[in-house]
Amino acid sequence: MNKWLLLALLSTSVHAYEPDRDQVLRFEPSPFKDVQLNCQRDKNIVPRRSDLILDNYALLAADNGERVAIITVTNGAGGQRMFNQEHLVALMADCNRIYPQAFELSLAAGQQTTIQIYFGRRVQPVLQLISSN
Assigned domain for 50 exists: yes
pLDDT score of 114 more than 90: yes
Confirm whether 13 is domain-assigned: no
User: What's the total number of domains in the chain?
Assistant: 1
Q: How many helices (DSSP H) and strands (DSSP E) are in the chain? A: 1, 9
The answer to whether residue 15 sits within a structural domain is no
pTM given for the model: 0.80
Q: Is residue 6 part of a domain?
A: no
CA distances to 11, 32, 49, 68 from 129, rounded to whole Å, are 44, 10, 15, 11
Residue range of the domain that includes 92: 21-130
The DSSP symbol for 47 reads P
Q: Is the pLDDT of residue 85 over 60?
A: yes
Q: Is residue 9 part of a domain?
A: no
- Residue 8 has a pLDDT of 63
Residue 120 lies in a domain: yes
Q: Residue 101: which CATH number?
A: 2.60.40
Phi, psi of 101 (to 5 degrees): -65, 160
